[in-house]
Structure formats: structure tokens, C-alpha cells
Amino acid sequence: MAHNCLQCIKYLMFVFNLLFWLGGCGILGVGIWLAVTQGNFATLSSSFPSLSAANLLIVTGTFVMIIGFVGCIGAIKENKCLLLSFFIMLLIIFLLELAVVILFFVYTDKIDKYAQRDLKKGLHLYGTDGNIGLTNAWSIIQTDFRCCGVSNYTDWFEVYNTTRVPDSCCLEFSENCGLHSPGTWWKAPCYETVKIWLQENLLAVGIFGLCTAMVQILGLTFAMTMYCQVVKADTYCA
């Protein structure tokens, strides 16, 4: 009976981790695709220039693949060391995610102030050599969200030292339209506009986060259950 239970958990965990590993492959693939096709689209942050969507996906996909691989081998080989390693790695990631979420809600105001200050600092890199990624990112954000500047279109005045904005701020795009009067520019602040958009899609973000947490808890449960079953089986055989 105990042997049948162990075999059932073994194959369930193997299938779970196989899907986990395939998910990691998918995330890594998307990250590589973004890096190849959209390599010039980088972060808006001047403090963390490498924190782009492509890099985040590549790192995340690699970690998921490694954890899924360890789980698969641990399950199929019934290896206590690998099962425990899988459990510990997944638990650390889960606790880190939980800590980040808690800190985000506790320090929301401070994060808002820091983010706006960092974004405004990044504006001064717009259009400069070696910052085509940041330049393209701001152009896309301002065009798609119909906004201008971080907190106001006047943020750009400090960048150019004159009354002008990038052409992506214009209601109707044309060459050097950023030199025209403020009446031809978007007035909405980009930071608040994007923040409102995220709040409107908070349900989808929450569902995704909840599903991710449930998958991780399921993986932790499978790993610890199988680990205990393998220990019991070894003790019984001894």
C-alpha cells in the first residue's frame, strides 16, 4: 500500500515538474525572442539599466527550468537529496515573493517617490548616445498611453533647457512637433496614467499572482510528501 502511494506521488510530481520545466522553457524562449527582436527596448530606470523585460524573463525562465529539472530527476530517481533541494529552492523563492509583496504594500508611498525621482533622472538620458533603449521605451510609453513626462510635460523643459518636449508627446505626430505650443501636446502625466492602467487591471494581476502561489504551494506539498514517503520506504527496507 505504501509502495503504491509512493509510486502515485512519484508520477504526479514528475508530471508537475515536467510542466514546470516546460513553462520555464517557454518563459526563457520569450525572453530570448524579446532580446533578439526588441533588444533596443530597455528599462526606463537610469539606476537599473539592465532591468529590462527580456532580461527578467531570461533570468526567471532559467531559474524555473533549473528548479523543474531538479524536481523531475528527484521524483523519477526517488532521490532524497534532490527532493529536499527542490523543496528548499522553491520555498526560498516563495518566501522572497511573499516578502516583496508585503514590502511593496508597506512602503508604497516611498516606492512611488523613489520611482518618480528615478524616472525623472532617466529623462536626461533620453536621446543620448548609448541609450537608444531608454529613448525608444519613453517614445512607446508616451505614444501608447497618450501622456507626456513623469509628473508633467514640464519635466522635459529641464531636460532640453527650453520649452519643448519629444515628438512622441504630440497629439498629432510630425517632425519637430515638440517645438510647438503646449496646446498640441498630451497633458496627462505618464506615471499616474500607467499606475491607473495597472490598477484597472489589478484583478488580472491578482489572479495571476494567486495561481502562481497555488502552483508553488502544490509543488512544495508534492516534494515534502514524496520526501517523507521515500524516507519511510528506506526505513522500512532497512
Q: Distance (Å, rounded) from C-alpha 45 to C-alpha 78?
A: 45
- Compute how many other C-beta atoms are within 10 angstroms of the C-beta atom of residue 13: 26
Do 86 and 73 contact (CB within 8 A), yes or no? no
- 39 pLDDT exceeds 70? no
Mean pLDDT of the chain: 84
Do 185 and 156 contact (CB within 8 A), yes or no? no
pTM of the model: 0.75
Give the pLDDT score at 231: 81
- 113 pLDDT exceeds 70? yes
Do 226 and 85 contact (CB within 8 A), yes or no? no
Give the pLDDT score at 32: 85
Beta bridge partners of 185: 170
Give the pLDDT score at 180: 83
* The dihedral sign for the CA sequence 192, 198, 199, 201: positive
pLDDT digits (tens, 9 = 90+) for 181-230: 888 999 999 999 999 998 888 888 888 888 888 888 888 888 888 888 88
Do 71 and 20 contact (CB within 8 A), yes or no? yes
Residues 74-99, mean pLDDT to the nearest whole number: 90
Residues 95-114, mean pLDDT to the nearest whole number: 90
Do 157 and 163 contact (CB within 8 A), yes or no? yes
Name the nearest CA neighbour of 30 among 54, 50, 51: 54
Q: Which residues contact 27 (CB under 8 A, 6 or more apart)?
A: 57, 60, 61, 64
- 46 pLDDT exceeds 70? no
Q: Could you tell me the domains of the chain?
A: 2-106+219-237 (no CATH), 110-193 (1.10.1450.10)
Residues 149-161, mean pLDDT to the nearest whole number: 92
